[in-house]
């Protein structure tokens, strides 16, 4: 049984994950399993991956799923084929640390109670304009730390310290979970499960709720190929709940939270000043004026429909920016090295991660370093 399964669901319009697969399987001795599952791709469309799978049993290319399958269902079908002790899931244009199986084994040995390994992934938009200066923060520390679950529950469900998404780096997507936790999540599913176009956040909610031990890697271990969220005609499955995927990203996550908690017999208590601030930020990240106005009106109306919303709506005052604000900061700030978004001429998430990974502490420094004793 491999130490880590990396699942790569490929949705319609996404490319074959050739580069990603080759990097993950580069080390012949790596205890890894890579599962690729495509939706709506014709049979035989990926001859290279199929040939690679025939030569390397660590790679499995699943039969093509039917077109129209939801992202959440594609994810679950991909997970069903995995066999690793730990499981992670990423997109075909993302990048993840090839030595992650070694780090997972180390974490399992040193932190036996942990069933969730998280990290802060770099979020890189492949179509970002080079004319706008953007800064990315790279941590200079690399240790693993146990994280208090109550703190993460507050950050996620209460939106404490959030931007337009909660600050909570745990979940299946760009995270790793033990198989026991994966099975606990899937066994708790009900009629309201996975009714979202963003399964990433539902997995985050359920992993956080059912986890027994949270372990954080201060060293980033992956990069996300970020694309802007577009409103989707998916209403809330909760009658009368005003936030849903038709409004924006923050509203979609709120619907996920409320629906997951409702299914588990609890009420969503995330409607507060921090959540309204997140709605404001979600609007301010919309740089098309017509879309900004439409999104702002939808959020304003949804906020006023919530208990106490009329008072909180006074704090909803997003400002329109025709383009993202520039950030030209560079250099060392506290425990972060601020670098240019296009460092090393990197355009994509995979290119960015390869450049920055060379600057970070190698995985063997974490797993094999023995401190010198001073007697």
Q: What does the pLDDT look like over 64-111, one tens digit per residue?
A: 999 899 999 999 999 999 999 999 999 999 999 999 999 999 999 999
**What's the chain's average pLDDT?**
96
Q: What does the pLDDT look like over 203-227, one tens digit per residue?
A: 999 999 999 999 999 999 999 999 9
User: Which of 29, 64, 92 is the C-terminal boundary of a domain?
Assistant: 92
* Predicted local confidence at residue 278, as pLDDT: 98
Dihedral over alpha carbons 27, 96, 194, 302 (to 10 degrees): 180
| Domain-embedded: residue 28 | yes
| Domain-embedded: residue 36 | yes
Ramachandran category for residue 137: left, alpha or beta (phi over 0 → left; psi -120 to 50 → alpha): beta
Mean pLDDT of 37-62: 94
Q: Would the pLDDT of 375 be above 70?
A: no
The better pLDDT of the pair 236, 43 is held by 236
Mean pLDDT of 14-39: 97
Tell me the sheet residues that pair with 118.
216
* Predicted local confidence at residue 374, as pLDDT: 54
What is the C-alpha separation between 309 and 168, in angstroms, rounded? 25
| Domain-embedded: residue 228 | no
Token duo for residue 5: 């399964």
Tell me what percent of the residues of the chain surpass a pLDDT of 70: 98
Q: Would the pLDDT of 370 be above 80?
A: no
* Predicted local confidence at residue 157, as pLDDT: 98
- pLDDT band of residue 42 (cuts 50, 70, 90) is confident
| Domain-embedded: residue 139 | no
Detail the DSSP E strand segments found in 316-370: 331-333, 336-340
Would you give the DSSP letter of residue 344? G
| Domain-embedded: residue 215 | no
Mean pLDDT of 4-26: 97
Domain membership of residue 37 as a residue range: 1-92
Starting at the edge strand found earlier in the chain, the sheet holding 59-61 runs 59-61, 32-38, 4-10, 86-89, 176-178, 116-119, 214-217, 144-147
Mean pLDDT of 172-182: 98
Mean pLDDT of 129-157: 96
| Domain-embedded: residue 72 | yes
| Domain-embedded: residue 171 | no
Kind plus residue range of the DSSP H or E element containing 261: helix 249-263
Q: Would the pLDDT of 371 be above 90?
A: no
| Domain-embedded: residue 2 | yes
- pLDDT band of residue 43 (cuts 50, 70, 90) is confident
Q: What does the pLDDT look like over 290-314, one tens digit per residue?
A: 999 999 999 999 999 999 999 999 9
What is the C-alpha separation between 103 and 182, in angstroms, rounded? 19
Kind plus residue range of the DSSP H or E element containing 24: helix 18-24
CA-nearest of 264, 295, 271, 267 to 281 is 295
- pLDDT band of residue 369 (cuts 50, 70, 90) is confident
Domain count for the chain, please give it: 2
**Domain harbouring 5, CATH code:** 3.90.550.10
Mean pLDDT of 333-354: 96
């Amino acid at each position: 049984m491999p130490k880590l399964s990396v699942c790569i669901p490929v949705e319609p319009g996404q490319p074959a994950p050739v580069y990603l697969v080759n990097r993950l399987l580069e080390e012949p001795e790596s205890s890894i399993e890579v599962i690729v599952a495509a939706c709506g791709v014709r049979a035989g469309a990926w001859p290279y991956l199929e040939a690679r799978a025939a030569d390397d049993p660590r790679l499995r290319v699943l039969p093509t799923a039917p077109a129209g399958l939801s992202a959440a269902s594609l994810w679950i079908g991909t997970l069903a084929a995995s066999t690793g002790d730990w499981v992670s899931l990423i997109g075909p244009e993302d990048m993840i640390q090839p030595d992650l199986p070694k780090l997972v084994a180390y974490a399992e040995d040193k932190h036996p109670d942990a069933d969730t390994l998280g990290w802060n992934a770099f979020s890189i938009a492949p179509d970002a304009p080079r004319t706008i200066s953007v800064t990315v923060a790279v941590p200079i520390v690399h240790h693993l730390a146990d994280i208090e679950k109550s703190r993460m529950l507050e950050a996620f469900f209460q939106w404490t310290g959030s931007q337009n998404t909660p600050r909570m780096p745990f979940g299946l997507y760009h995270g790793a979970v033990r198989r026991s936790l994966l099975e606990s999540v899937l066994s708790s599913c009900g009629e309201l499960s996975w009714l979202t176009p963003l399964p990433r956040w539902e997995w985050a909610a359920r992993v956080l709720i059912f986890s027994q031990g949270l372990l954080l890697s201060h060293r980033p271990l992956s990069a996300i190929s970020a694309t802007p969220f577009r409103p989707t005609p998916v209403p809330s499955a909760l009658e009368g709940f005003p936030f849903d995927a038709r409004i924006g990203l923050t509203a979609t996550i709120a619907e996920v939270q409320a629906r997951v908690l409702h299914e588990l017999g609890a009420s969503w208590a995330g409607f507060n000043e921090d959540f309204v601030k997140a709605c404001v930020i979600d609007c301010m990240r919309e740089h098309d004026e017509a879309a900004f106005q439409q999104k702002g009106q939808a959020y304003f109306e949804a906020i006023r429909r919530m208990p106490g919303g009329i008072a909180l709506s006074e704090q909803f005052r997003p400002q329109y920016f025709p383009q993202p604000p520039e950030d030209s900061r560079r250099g060392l700030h506290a425990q972060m090295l601020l670098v240019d978004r296009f460092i090393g001429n990197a355009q994509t998430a995979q290119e960015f991660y390869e450049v920055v990974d060379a600057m970070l502490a190698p995985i063997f420094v974490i797993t094999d370093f023995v401190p010198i004793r001073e007697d």
